[in-house]
Structure 1
Amino acid sequence: MTILVTGVAGFIGYHVAEALLARGERVLGIDNMNSYYDTKLKQSRLHRLERHPHFAYVFADLGRAQALNAAVHKRLGDLTGIIHLAAQAGVRHSIDHPTDYVGPNLSGHLNILEVGRHAPQLKHMVYASSSSVYGNSRRIPFAIDDPVDTPTSLYAATKRADELMSISYAQLYKLPLTGLRFFTVFGPWGRPDMAYYRFTEAILAGEKIEVFGDGSVERDFTYIDDIVDGVIAALDRPPATDQAMPHRLYNLGSDRPVSLNHLIDLVEKACGKKAERNIFPPAAGDVKATWADLSLSKADLGYEPKTSLAEGIEKFVAWYRAYKSN
């Protein structure tokens, strides 16, 4: 039996695949290796996975149904689980490049729902949503039953659309689905477009860091190992198909929001150097704060984030130094 992981060369996909392989699962990974950020990092992640005898990789663009079906049709009967993480990421990128999100985030999500619908042994599909769906919600912390009808970016709008498509498929086809709203994931092998990565890169290179706004915005930074624990806990707990709608949503965060200024302090400490700042106006699409209400995730999934931002940043900087020295 096999678990399909989409976006397997991505940050979260790579770590999830590693964890599944470590517990003895067979993993089929799909990725289109897009160039949103340096593909060398994606290749490095993929090479590490390919050392494992129970891992197989296929190149495919999820936005193209025919290509996706060709990639999975031989293994369709073996799929017992799908973890769908592939997407065009980036709130800021979506402001200037909105059409980049149609194929991966909308068509891609629909196409993978179709794969799940036609996989005869599928027990559960888990998919990535985002804390971005909450927009500038005035209710803090963000709870699953909060209104999410005012997205502040197209990226957020596509993630909410994915949730709605999934709700539809769960009702129509009794396809068991769980959506996970991730809150600012960070850690080793992370994405170079994320603030903590860019700050580390600039500080160690002796360059100024770019800060948008006054640094007071707050984010619920969540360490990658905690996210992986939540993803696998969700996979192992499919909603019952005898329900009218076998679909659930959960927040995966740390429940410990901190300011951007505090993040910079921690990166400076881990790097052993102070940062010089270039200050820019607040970026379009950015929200003032994110904060995950984890009550449902803890009750249903046994989710308990363990790694603090300070500990996680130290681990990231240590990884970054080692990765760049190779």
Structure 2
Amino acid sequence: MMEKRQLLIVSSNEDFVDKLVEQVSVNFEITRERSIHVAFNTALNLLPDTIFFDKTSYNRTSDFRNLKNFKSTHFLNKSFLFVYGKEEDLTILNKRYKAIIDEYLSDTMGIDQIALRIRRNVQSQCFNYWHDCFMGLFNLMAQPVVLLKQNNILLMNDSFKKTFRLDKTEGLKLTDFVNIENKAKVKTSLRNFSRGKHMKAVTKTSLLLHNDKLRNARISFSKLSRNITDQFIMMVDFSGNELQMDDSIGSHANQVEKCFEDNSELAEFSFTKREKEIISLLCKGYKTKEISDALFISPKTIEKHRSNIIKRTNSETILESIIFAINHNLVDLPKS
């Protein structure tokens, strides 16, 4: 007997859901949720094959905007999304949410017709086995990863999109994220790497995040096969830890490593003496008044230094600056 597929029904209309479940329970393992927020967390955990969203149960505009979350990751993007709603909403929904909704079901349809559409969808789904396996592994990785064809980004995992806060992913290039003036040099080194004998490169560089913020990162390039020309992956790590790659497999492309490492050296810096004193005290848990008493400077001057520290580390908060400073060994940690 074929294993049942997973169906998530999001609706507050209990009577409607009961009738629908009765019609499709033979084909599906069914999960019901009334809250859209809870349903999204359930979907992340369940990774359902099909999601049925009853728009007639939710009247607030913000409720329906949250529907975008149900297609926000690679795994949820594989779910087939049915939206059930009023006939008069069809045109607007097709225009605004065409990329999200897979099929719109009108409230003029009967339960038996709706159930038939859902069951037929199960039979029509087909997959490219190896492509799905690769993309699944790709998006399970917590580190940002991209698949490159020389300088062109072919694919990026969910972690990369989240880290760099990307809404649009079409037509992006690696040089869009590298803080370097000589982009032609990067392109040349990537082209030579893709066509050369070396299998990998591990180095560090400065990457541009959202709002032109800079972060030093360790990056690793790796070919997936000698038989696949021009394509390779790049993994990004901001924690300061060295990415684990089997050093016994293949040789290193020194040209690529040096190209990016030279770039990172341009972005390295150290705090001024006063900034280092202040951030060291912040690491010990000192408040502004306590720092003022310890260093004999005014709270206003301390706030100015805090602001400079945030700007110099391209951070959004002082806590983010402290974490950056610790990860890059820019301050002496208090002895325990």
TM-score w.r.t. length of structure 2: 0.31
TM-score w.r.t. length of structure 1: 0.31
Instruction: Flag the structure with larger Rg.
Output: 2
Higher relative contact order (CA 8 A, sep 6+): 1
